[in-house]
Amino acid sequence: MTLKELKEEARRQGYYLVKAENPYEKLKPCVICGNNRRDHFKTKDAKVAMRCTKCGFTVLGTSERAIHKKWNEECSKPKPEALQSL
């Protein structure tokens, strides 16, 4: 049995020999405090939010993917001038 036939047989039986990619982006640390822990929750108006557990920095969005993307965009920006000393 060749490698190609082996892969086809494994796929036919439901096995995947190559690990699937993670559909989510890796989240960056908080822009304010550098913490890596976040809380996910829903607001009263049915929006999804993500908040830093240490400083409370919050990002709102319409879906999980949207807040992940927005979180990384916000954390890519330089730290605000008023918080440079922290």
Q: What is the pLDDT of residues 28-72, one digit of tens each?
A: 998 888 889 999 888 888 789 999 999 888 999 888 888 999 999
d(CA 48, CA 11): 36
How many domains is the chain partitioned into structurally?
1
Residue at 4 is within a domain: no
Task: Judge whether residue 75 has pLDDT over 80.
Answer: yes
Q: What is the pLDDT of residue 10?
A: 85
Q: What Rg, from alpha-carbon coordinates, does the chain have? A: 20
For residues 26 and 22, what is the distance between their CA atoms, to the nearest angstrom?
9
Domain containing 40 equals 22-79
Q: Angle at Cα 85 formed by Cα 57 and Cα 75, nearest 5°?
A: 35
Is 26 contained in some domain?
yes
The answer as to whether 29 is a domain residue is: yes
Residue 13 lies in a domain: no
In a domain, 50, yes or no: yes
- Does residue 27 form part of some domain? yes
What CA dihedral angle connects 68, 76, 27 and 23, to 10 degrees? Answer: 60
**pTM tops 0.85:** no
